[in-house]
Amino acid sequence: MKYKKTLIIAALLGMQLMARAQNISNLHFFIPGKAVVYARMDIDDVRLYLNGNGKISLENGGGLKGNVDYYDGLNDGPKRGKIKSIDGIRYDYYDGLNDGFKTGMLKSIGSIRIDYYDGLNDGVKTGKVKSIGAMSVDYYDGLNDGVKTGKLKSVGGTQIQYYDGLNDGVKTGLVKSIAATQIQYYDGLNDGIKTGRIRSVTGNSPGIKVSVGRDEVEQ
């Protein structure tokens, strides 16, 4: 595994979507070396990652504690073998007759429901995460979106933009802004090995913290 320097756009939005004991909090945006945005958020001790392709993965952010149970019933179908609960927080998965491609996908963590794009006209968004609790997720899917097509457009009220101008050169397709935070890259004729790498991060957005770290692991 090789560690990559990561630009962390930490959007501490203080999102408290109350649903019994579960809260969504600490929404962060990451731009790893390849400049593909992904988001991370916490649901109590569960850490949920939303990657640039609209897929989700989980880890236990607070360290595994409490009892762990799994679906093991004869009638559990596609849920069989998956985690059922950790420390009293219940996990559910889509298993309805009409759930189609969502079958087996994560449906809820406690009272936080997760939905996916599955409409006939959803196009490139089909199969991607549509909402996490009351927080909506959108992707670029316009006829003229070009290199942005299929990429994260917004998470909650946070908008994400990409370089897509005719003269953007090596910056084309790279993240341009997250909310009011602007990202610039080296793109000069004499920039050599710096070409395409992050040059500066400017602008302030309420509640957004920007830092550079090595939190991304490339596998």
**Token pair recorded at residue 66:** 């409490």
The CA distance from 12 to 202, in Å, is 17
Helix (H) and strand (E) counts for the chain?
0, 18
- Give me the average pLDDT of each 10-residue run along the chain (219 residues): 48 37 73 70 83 82 74 94 90 93 93 93 94 94 92 90 91 88 88 87 67 39
As for how many domains the chain has, the answer is: 1
Q: How high is the pLDDT of residue 138?
A: 96
On whether the pTM is more than 0.75, the answer is yes
Q: How high is the pLDDT of residue 199?
A: 86
Q: How high is the pLDDT of residue 79?
A: 95
**Whole domain around residue 32: which residue ranges?**
2-218
Q: How high is the pLDDT of residue 33?
A: 60
Inter-residue contact 116 to 138 (CB < 8 Å): no
Run of H or E residues at 160: strand 158-162
- State the first-to-last Cα distance of the chain, in angstroms, to the nearest integer: 5
